[in-house]
Amino acid sequence: MTALPNNSYQKGMLKKQIQLILYELYFFAQKDVMIGLSTKQKRGNKMKIAISSDHGGNNLRKEIIQQLEELGLSYKDFGPQTNDSVDYPDYAAPVTEGVASGEYDRGILICGTGIGMSIAANKMKGIRCALVHDVFSAKATRCHNDSNVLAMGERVIGPGLAREIVATWLAQEFEGGRHERRIEKISALEK
Ligand code: RB5
């Protein structure tokens, strides 16, 4: 049996090794999420995604569209097609209308902070838009809130984290159960 470290140098080395293993496990799990999604798609998952941004989210929107293409997912890009300054509610509208009507399964909205887009999106009946800037929340909002629109801020997070958030959010199923009752209570607030 390996002896436990008995000085601070050995303890530090052990801590570093454990951190390295946890780091590798984390990336392995993330890779699985993405591979899981593309495998599902190959099996005939017909998830349709609507995406838009304002000028503050143009670059990140292009990055996420690239990711959707890599994953082989079906999407509709609602622009904008130039870098001119635009008003985010105008670009939230077609995405949220498309998701609320059932034409699209999920929506992705990007602006500078993600805040304006999420406020606008949540005005639309039937939309549960989550503003997400970490992977834990991306998973939790699908499990617990059955969020159908994801908002992110290009000026808040980098493209690598945004891609992980999108992969997690698209792959995660709603848990249902007690969360179903809470979703129904949100819908009742719309009446
Ligand atoms: C545009 O400058 C900026 O206000 C918008 O992208 C967004 O951050 C609003 O919430």
Give the ligand 1 atom nearest the CA of 55. 6
Domains of the chain: 46-189 (3.40.1400.10)
The burial of 150, by beta-carbon neighbours within 10 Å (0-12 exposed, 13-18 middle, 19 or more buried), is given as buried
- For residue 140, is pLDDT > 80? yes
Atom of ligand 1 nearest to the CA of 113: 8
CA-proximal residue: ligand 1, atom 10 (nearest): 116
88: Cβ below 6 Å to ligand 1? yes
Q: How confident is the model at residue 41 (pLDDT cuts 50, 70, 90)?
A: very low
Task: Answer positive or negative: Cα dihedral of 27, 30, 35, 36.
Answer: positive
Concerning whether 111 is annotated as a catalytic residue, the answer is yes
With cut-offs at 50, 70 and 90, classify the pLDDT of residue 17.
low
Q: Max CA-CA distance within the chain?
A: 66
- For residue 97, what pLDDT is reported? 98
Chain center to CA of 161: 10
List, for residues 89-133, the tens digit of each pLDDT value.
Answer: 999 999 999 999 999 999 999 999 999 999 999 999 999 999 999
Q: Determine which residue's CA is closest to atom 3 belonging to ligand 1.
A: 112
Q: What is the pLDDT of residue 46?
A: 81
- Beta-carbon contacts of 135 under 8 Å, excluding residues fewer than 6 positions away, are 30, 161, 164, 165, 168
- Amino acid 8: pLDDT: 72
